[in-house]
Amino acid sequence: MVGVIGYGAYIPRYRIRVEEIAKTWGADAPSYKRGLLLKEKSVPAPDQDTITMSVEASRYAVRRAGIDSARIGAVYVGSESHPYAVKPSGTVLAEALGATPQAHTADFEFACKAGSEGMFVAMGLVQAGLVEYALGVGADTSQGAPGDALEYSASAGAGAFLFGREKILAEVEETDTFMTDTPDFWRREHQFYPEHAGRFTGEPAYFKHTLGAAKGILKKAGATAKDFAFAVFHQPNGKFPLKVGEMLGFTKQQVETGLLSPTLGNTYSGASPIGLTAILDVAKPGDRILMVSYGSGAGSDAFIFRATDLLPKVQNLAPKTRPQLDDNKFYLDYGTYAKFRGKIRKAG
């Protein structure tokens, strides 16, 4: 049996409201709030990036697992905003945890699916018996071009999951994936901001792949929506995950625990992983959880987890996700946000 033995999330404290962005660009804030169900988003501080947030989330995961970090045999960070073009984020993370030198690492990139892919590989290495513990992290400080629709959602956060074969908090019951070559969102080499194909990112991209992976895993597991206590889907906004949940037969109650995007924004590789941490914070023994990621390009990974009797014993050992999202926030004006995100061209 393989499963999650530790988990953690990190969400920066800075926020910007949809109204503040819309005011700058002369856009209609109520239409964004109504249409995409977005209220505000997280903003990384100038000294935060994918690496720093991965370290914090992973430290919480190690704390909940109660293991010696030196026994982690693989560290994978999935992100589309790795701080270096060449030099792995995983090296810094592994060093900060004390997992070096005997740890495999390489960075993953698959738009918003890189985190779940890292989780899958980490889980697979443990299941194969190649390593004792493995860490999969989804983290991003995502960028949206100024004035673009993405700017209202592109946010920052990290979710980390330690996999092992003993003292399991959430057993992995089933996995599946659904992937095609679909150019709905991309960023070319040396480009600062990503490009997207507008409404093409919806039906043939997000919905096709999310539904494909979800239906595939439900068929493999012989399960239906009624068999789950919770479901978490990739959340580029507040609307898509609710709609895809409804299409699969999930109620709003099953989806809303892991639905963070209305006040968090889209943390890209961190999105469904952080949603999963919010569910693990409150799940009870025996609860089944469906997680389906989505990454443009395009593909979805699906996992079915079942919470064990150990989960409630560790939920309070590290900061929970909802309080990080709801408490201790600092709101930014657009000018400070633009400065924080490097959107202002300066002299020299």
Partner 1 sequence: MFSSRYWREIPQRYRMEAAKCSGCGHVSFPPRLICPKCKGRKFEKVRLPDQGKILTYTVIHVPATPFKDEVPFAIAVVELDGGVRITSQVVDCDPSTLTIGQRVRTEFRKLQEIGDAGILCYGYKCVPA
Q: Which stretch binds partner 1 (CB under 8 A): 19-27, 47-55, 217-225, 260-268?
A: 47-55
Indicate whether 92 belongs to the interface with partner 1 (CB under 8 A). yes
Q: Which of residues 14-43 bind partner 1 (CB under 8 A)?
A: 14
List 27, 29, 70, 95, residue binding partner 1 (CB under 8 A):
95
- Residue 47 CA to residue 293 CA, distance in Å, equals 28
Shortest Cβ distance from residue 47 to partner 1 (Å)? 4
- Residue 121 CA to residue 74 CA, distance in Å, equals 9
- Residue 30 CA to residue 36 CA, distance in Å, equals 10
Indicate whether 140 belongs to the interface with partner 1 (CB under 8 A). no
Q: Which is nearer to partner 1, 52 or 155 (CB)?
A: 52
Indicate whether 47 belongs to the interface with partner 1 (CB under 8 A). yes
Indicate whether 330 belongs to the interface with partner 1 (CB under 8 A). yes
Q: Which is nearer to partner 1, 64 or 288 (CB)?
A: 64
Q: Which is nearer to partner 1, 234 or 341 (CB)?
A: 341
Count the neighbouring beta carbons within 10 Å of the beta carbon of residue 253: 9
Candidate list 112, 151, 173, 174, residue with the active-site label: 112
Q: Which is nearer to partner 1, 96 or 225 (CB)?
A: 96
Indicate whether 323 belongs to the interface with partner 1 (CB under 8 A). no
Q: Which stretch binds partner 1 (CB under 8 A): 48-56, 148-156, 194-202, 277-285?
A: 48-56
Candidate list 80, 151, 173, 174, residue with the active-site label: 80
Cβ(97)–Cβ(129) below 8 Å: no
Cβ(138)–Cβ(119) below 8 Å: yes
Shortest Cβ distance from residue 71 to partner 1 (Å)? 16
Q: Which is nearer to partner 1, 45 or 225 (CB)?
A: 45
Q: Which stretch binds partner 1 (CB under 8 A): 91-99, 200-208, 210-218, 280-288?
A: 91-99
Indicate whether 332 belongs to the interface with partner 1 (CB under 8 A). no
Indicate whether 52 belongs to the interface with partner 1 (CB under 8 A). yes
Shortest Cβ distance from residue 13 to partner 1 (Å)? 5
Q: Which is nearer to partner 1, 46 or 249 (CB)?
A: 46
Q: For residue 85, with 0-12 CB atoms within 10 Å meaning exposed, 13-18 middle and 19 or more buried, which class applies? A: exposed
* Residues contacting 99, CB < 8 A, separation 6+: 69, 70, 72, 75, 135
Beta 72-78 vs 14-17: how paired, if at all? Answer: unpaired
Phi-psi region of 87 (alpha: psi -120 to 50; beta: other; left: phi over 0): left
List 27, 29, 45, 225, residue binding partner 1 (CB under 8 A):
45
Cβ(280)–Cβ(307) below 8 Å: yes
Task: Give the angle 248-309-260 at the CA atoms, nearest 5°.
Answer: 40
Indicate whether 48 belongs to the interface with partner 1 (CB under 8 A). yes
Q: Which stretch binds partner 1 (CB under 8 A): 88-96, 167-175, 197-205, 296-304?
A: 88-96
Count the neighbouring beta carbons within 10 Å of the beta carbon of residue 20: 18
Q: Is 112 annotated as catalytic?
A: yes
Q: Is 234 annotated as catalytic?
A: yes
List 35, 83, 183, 285, residue binding partner 1 (CB under 8 A):
83
For residue 179, the Cα-to-chain-centroid distance in whole angstroms is: 18
Nearest to 215 by CA among 261, 180, 177, 269: 177
Tokens of 278: 């919010």
Largest CA distance in the chain: 61
Q: Is 56 annotated as catalytic?
A: no
CA distances for 88 relative to 82, 95, 106, 135, angstroms:
8, 12, 6, 15
Q: For residue 124, with 0-12 CB atoms within 10 Å meaning exposed, 13-18 middle and 19 or more buried, which class applies? A: middle
Binding site for partner 1 (CB under 8 A): 13-14, 45-49, 51-52, 55-56, 59, 83-84, 92, 95-96, 98, 330, 339
Looking at the annotation, which residues are catalytic? Answer: 80, 112, 234
